[in-house]
Chain A
Amino acid sequence: MKFTRLILSNFKRHKTRTILTILSIMVAFVLFAYLGAFRTAFNYGANIAGQDRLMVRHKVSLIQLLPASYEADIERIDGVAEATHATWFGAIYKDPKNFFGQMPVKPEEFMRMYPEFELPKEQMDAWLKTRTGAIAGRTTADRFGWKVGDKIPLMGTYWRSKESDRLWTFDLVGIYEGAKPETDTSNFYFRHDFFDEMRRGGEGLVGWYIIRVKDPEKAEEVAKRVDAEFANSPAETKTDTEGAFVKGFAEQIGNIGAIVIAILTMVFFTILLVAGNTMAQAVRERMSELGVLKAIGFTDMQVLAMVLTEALLIAVIGGGLGLILGALAVAKGDPTKGALPVFILQPSHAIFGVVCVFLLGLVSGFLPALQAMRMNPVEALRRE
Chain B
Amino acid sequence: MRFFAQIAALVGFNIRTLPSRKGSAAAAIVGIAGVVAVLVGLLSIAQGFRRTMTIAGSPDTVFVLRTGADSELASILTREEAQIIAEAPGVARKNGKALVSPELFVMVNLPKRSTNTDANVPMRGIEQTAFDVRDEVKIVQGRKFQPGRNEVIVGRAAQLQFAGTDLGSDLLFGPNLWKVVGVFEAEGSISESEIWADAAVLAPAYRRGTSYQNAVVRLASAGNYQTFKDSLMTDPRVSLKIVRETEYYAEQSRSIVGLVNVVAGIITTLMGLAAIFGALNTMYTAVAARSREIATLEAIGFRGAPIVISVLIESILLAVLGGVVGALGAWLAFDGFRAATLNWQTFSQVAFSFDVNGPLLVQGIVWAVVIGVIGGLFPAIRAARLPVAVALRER
Contact = CB atoms under 8 A, between A and B. Distances in A.
Interface string B97-120: 000000000111100101101111
A83 interface: no
Interface stretch (B65-73, B193-201, B310-318, B358-366): B65-73
Interface of chain B, helix or strand or loop or mixed?
helix
B285 A267 contact: no
Interface residues of A, number: 54
Interface stretch (A90-98, A110-118, A370-378): A90-98
A278 interface: yes
B267 A274 contact: no
A339 interface: yes
Given A251-B112, A259-B45, A158 B69 contact: yes
Contacts of B115: 251
Nearest to A16: B284
A62 B226 CA distance: 37
A259 B256 CA distance: 14
A355 to B, nearest CB: 21
Interface in A305-362: 335-336, 339-340
A371 B351 CA distance: 54
A339 B259 contact: yes
Contact of A31 (B71, B174, B267, B277): B267
Interface in B42-70: 42, 45, 67-70
Interface stretch (A21-29, A47-55, A188-196): A21-29
Nearest to A255: B339
Contacts of A264: 267
A158 B73 contact: yes
B200 to A, nearest CB: 19
Contacts of A256: 45, 256, 260, 339, 341
A99 B251 CA distance: 13
Q: What band does the interface of chain B fall in when counting residues whose beta carbon is under 8 Å from A?
A: 35 or more
Given A17-B285, A27-B277, A157 B340 contact: no
A149 interface: no
Contacts of A28: 274
A278 B281 contact: yes
B64 to A, nearest CB: 15
Contact of B255 (A64, A97, A155, A263): A97
A254 interface: yes
Contact of A63 (B34, B106, B277): B106
Contact of B266 (A60, A155, A236, A335): A335
B342 A254 contact: yes
A260 interface: yes
Interface string A249-292: 00111111001100110110011001001100100000000000
B273 to A, nearest CB: 5
Contacts of B173: 60
Most A CB contacts (10 A, CB to CB) among B68, B109, B173 go to: B68
A61 B106 contact: yes
B108 A274 contact: no
Nearest to B344: A99
A27 B281 contact: no
A70 interface: no
B307 to A, nearest CB: 19
A352 B75 CA distance: 48
Interface in B22-42: 23-24, 27, 30-31, 34, 38, 41-42
B70 A254 contact: no
B263 interface: yes
A23 B277 contact: yes
A181 interface: no
Contacts of A96: 70, 251
A67 to B, nearest CB: 12
A166 interface: yes
Nearest to B121: A61
Interface of B: 23-24, 27, 30-31, 34, 38, 41-42, 45, 67-71, 73-75, 106-109, 112, 114-115, 117-120, 173-175, 206, 251, 254-256, 258-260, 262-263, 266-267, 270-271, 273-274, 277-278, 280-281, 284-285, 339-342, 344, 347, 349
23 contacts: A20-B278, A20-B281, A27-B274, A30-B270, A34-B266, A61-B106, A61-B107, A61-B109, A62-B120, A63-B106, A90-B70, A96-B70, A236-B175, A251-B115, A252-B341, A255-B339, A256-B260, A259-B339, A266-B38, A271-B271, A271-B274, A274-B278, A339-B258
